[in-house]
Amino acid sequence: MDADRIKTRSVLLEFLKFRVLAAGEEFFDSTGLEHRRQWLALVHPQALDLSDEDLEQIWNQARILYTEC
């Protein structure tokens, strides 16, 4: 992993924390792969540099860390 990618991943995870904590598990109901990039373009465009695999990993990590699953 390069430094920029690591930084982008960590910033996105921190950004998601407040979204997930506010919405709970429902946050993940409307953030499927297709919708995810559209949403990120509006609220966190720098995350669009990440691959779909990176985004999936971050979404899974956010679910584990910030919900009661």
pLDDT for 28-64, tens place per residue? Answer: 887 788 899 999 999 999 999 999 999 999 999 999 9
The 3-class secondary structure across 56-67, one letter per residue, is HHHHHHHHHHHC
pTM for this entry: 0.86
CA–CA distance, 48 with 19 (Å, rounded to integer) = 17
Residue 10: which pLDDT band, with cuts at 50, 70 and 90? very high
